[in-house]
Amino acid sequence: MEIKKVGVLGCGLMGSGIAQTAATAGFDVIVREVSGELCDRGFAGIDKSLARFAEKGTITTEQQTEIRGRLRGTTSLEDLADCDIIIEAIIENLDTKRDTYKQLDAVCKPETIFASNTSSISITEMMTSTSAERQKRFIGLHFFNPVPLMKLVEVVRTILTDESVYERAVEFGKQLGKVPVRAGDKTGFIVNRLLVPYMLDAIRALEEGVGSIVDIDNAMKLGCGYPMGPFTLGDFVGLDTTYYIAEIMFNEFREKRFAPPPLLKRMVLAGLYGRKSGRGFYDYTADPKNPTPMKLV
Ligand code: CAA
């Protein structure tokens, strides 16, 4: 069960980061996107990130060229047929994911391990779109943004995952230079189960007038040593994504701590998604490096 060739589905923020990380670790990587334009956009992000590492001296310019040489893009699922593992990082939509896995199951060799980078969709629910044999080789590999920098990967097993496949995936996580943690297929796994209620609580604290955006951010950053306060982190992750994860977790557990607060819902409805839309808890439009807090309450 040696892993040599890695397939990545999706070349967005997460997919491109996963592809870059796997190529940096020495694997041959093929990335599939639905259009050439999306593929090019993802590869431009990889080039930018590799250039930053080269500038800092983390990698040499020769290594930069070698890593880039191990990466290939495609728009065809068939090109992933001989991959030893495929990591899926496409849109967080259950039907789209199930449909993609079904197609992939038909073209891939029997040994290929299927891994999803989903943050909140049940691995089991995706897995059942594939054959009984593939279901034993179906896991979650949940990475964190920005993937080339964040050291963690959650390795998720279902009740049907084959033990040797699971251990191989844990080993693969180490080969990628990450620290793997083992988690069961419970919505949110470890990190989001703890992180999401914390981020939602920060929004409730803001709604209740406990402190301002800047003060709550500074409190958690400087008082607890977190690299980003909860609002900066929410804008970084994307408030639409945070809302979506919270909704799924609330539907699964029916616990108040996972319920998205009204302010978050209204911000998402108003298109305030965070950094990617220019405004969230902070306004990034004038100076992205020095954003100003929004007036929300
Ligand atoms: N590629 C290469 N280098 C990068 C990079 C990338 N994609 N992103 C940042 N860097 C480099 C920068 O160039 C910078 O280098 P120097 O130190 O040489 O200047 C360095 O990393 C630090 O970057 P910044 O100065 O911009 O900012 P920072 O010191 O705050 O670090 C950070 C950035 C690593 C993102 C840090 O703020 C951090 O760890 N934040 C928390 C991120 C986090 O919690 N992520 C998880 C989100 S949850 C999730 O992803 C899962 C989910 O399911 C929602």
Reduced to 3 states (helix: H, G, I; strand: E, B; else coil), residue 10 is: coil
Span 245-270, pLDDT tens digits? 999 999 999 999 999 999 999 999 99
Superfamily of domain 194-291 in the CATH hierarchy: N-(1-d-carboxylethyl)-l-norvaline Dehydrogenase; domain 2 (1.10.1040.10)
The fold adopted by the segment(s) 5-184 is Rossmann fold (3.40.50)
Ligand 1 atom, smallest distance to 45 CA: 7
pLDDT of residue 257: 97
Nearest to 212 by CA among 226, 229, 195: 229
Annotation says 154 is catalytic: yes
Annotation says 145 is catalytic: no
Report the mean per-residue pLDDT for the chain. 97
Dihedrals phi, psi of 209, to nearest 5 degrees: 75, 20
Q: Which residues is 153 bridged to in the sheet?
A: 143, 180
Cα 125 from Cα 105, distance rounded (Å): 15
Sign of the dihedral defined by the CA atoms of residues 45, 189, 270, 280, in that order: negative
Ligand 1 shell residues, CB under 6 Å: 49, 52-53, 56, 119, 144-146, 148-150, 192, 227-228, 233, 237
> CA 205: distance to chain centroid?
27
pTM confidence score: 0.96
Annotation says 167 is catalytic: no
Span 58-88, pLDDT tens digits? 999 999 999 999 999 999 999 999 999 999 9
Per the residue annotation, which of 16, 116, 117, 119 is the catalytic one?
119
pLDDT of residue 110: 97
Mean pLDDT computed over 189-205:
98
Mean pLDDT computed over 15-42:
98
Can you give the residue ranges of every domain in the chain? 5-184, 194-291
Dihedrals phi, psi of 116, to nearest 5 degrees: -105, 140
Res 272 pLDDT > 90: yes
